[in-house]
């Protein structure tokens, strides 16, 4: 499906099925930066597991590997923690 962006351009919308979402937004700011979502439009509608990178980073390396092993994982973010965790997920799978 396609939809119009703010500037009138057509944006491609891609739907993916994943088992696990890791939010990598705000780990190094001392508190998780969790966006506010409209009712029934946030992580609560996702049937898999949602975790913030701060919680993920508290796991031991072996526990983290077991958690993501064999799962389709999406990492939301683009800075250091997101890149590090994406690499760990790729290595575990």
The answer, yes or no, to whether residue 41 has pLDDT greater than 80, is no
Tell me, what's the pLDDT at 54? 86
In tens, the pLDDT along 46-77 reads 788 888 888 888 899 999 999 999 988 888 88
CA diameter of the chain: 47
Contact 27, 54 (CB under 8 A): yes
Q: Which pTM was predicted? A: 0.67
Nearest to 16 by CA among 69, 72, 67, 68: 72
The domains of the chain are located at 19-32+47-93
């Amino acid at each position: 499906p396609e939809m119009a962006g703010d500037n009138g351009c057509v944006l491609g919308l891609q739907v993916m099925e994943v088992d696990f979402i890791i939010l990598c937004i705000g780990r190094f700011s001392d508190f998780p930066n969790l966006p506010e979502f409209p009712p029934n439009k946030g992580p609560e509608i996702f049937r898999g597991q949602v975790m913030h990178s701060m919680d993920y980073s508290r796991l031991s390396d072996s526990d983290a590997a077991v958690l993501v092993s064999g799962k389709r994982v999406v990492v939301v973010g683009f800075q250091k923690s997101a890149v590090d965790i994406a690499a760990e997920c790729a290595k575990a799978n």
